[in-house]
Amino acid sequence: MKVCTDACLFGGWVVQSEKDRTAVKNILDIGTGTGLLSLMMAQSNPTATITAVEIETLAAQEAQRNFEISPWKVQLKLVHHSIQKFTTDSNEVFDTIITNPPFFEDDLKSPDQNKNKAAHSTELPWPILIENVKHLLAEEGYFYVLTPTLRAYTMQKLCEKNGLQLIEEVLVHNASKNLPIRAMQKFIKTKVDTNNTSTFVAKRFKITIKDADNNYTESFHELLREYYLHLI
């Protein structure tokens, strides 16, 4: 599964959200795919170590190649395992965890099993994903996730059950006249009693990719000009 615009936008948003966190040293990218998000994090944070976990063999190989030819290869570590095995084998905790997870549920599957691993949550059910995030994320650490808009509330409630509180959500629109297609969510790991009502009030925003003339919006430029050569 190659790079898509909403994944790039998600990476740019995460970088912007993290820019004032000088203490971030250890970042985890779950399901790195081609390594896009890990590379964006390394470019923006030269003192951080980024661990990228990928289960699918061809994707892991491609990510490794991308890491090796990048200027940030010393910061990047590729782990070719499932996140479940990584959690079992690792004694690390991470300041920041990012993921663009599989999200299709009952949709028609591809005959290509590699694509199914990348796109369908049957290969990594969200409850399993979030249980692993809970174990791997440091206290007061941030978890960033990209979801389809229609499933954003499901992700929010699932995270809350695991001690992860939503603090920011950005809805992504292809154009201002269209309904949002994705939600970019930011959670914090807290010791809040999950049986009680959360005291966190999430900030909510929206971003539009294209304007009425089919040009990238200024908000899009702001997030991605460091990564898209034609926006420089």
CA distance 155 to 168: 13
Q: At what angle do helices 36-44 and 57-68 cross, to 10 degrees?
A: 30
Domain residues for the domain of 46 are 5-231
When pLDDT is cut at 50, 70 and 90, the band that residue 192 belongs to is: low
Single-letter amino acid, residue 174: N
Residue 40 clears pLDDT 60, i.e. is over it: yes
In this prediction the pTM is 0.89
How many domains are there within the chain?
1
CA distance 113 to 108: 12
Q: What is the pLDDT of residues 95-124, one digit of tens each?
A: 999 999 986 455 444 454 554 444 434 568
pLDDT of residue 18: 92
Arithmetic mean of pLDDT over the chain: 88
| 139 close to 191: Cβ distance less than 8 angstroms | yes
Residue 228 clears pLDDT 60, i.e. is over it: yes
State the CATH number of the domain containing residue 176.
3.40.50.150
pLDDT of residue 220: 95
34: nearest Cα among 6, 67, 11:
67
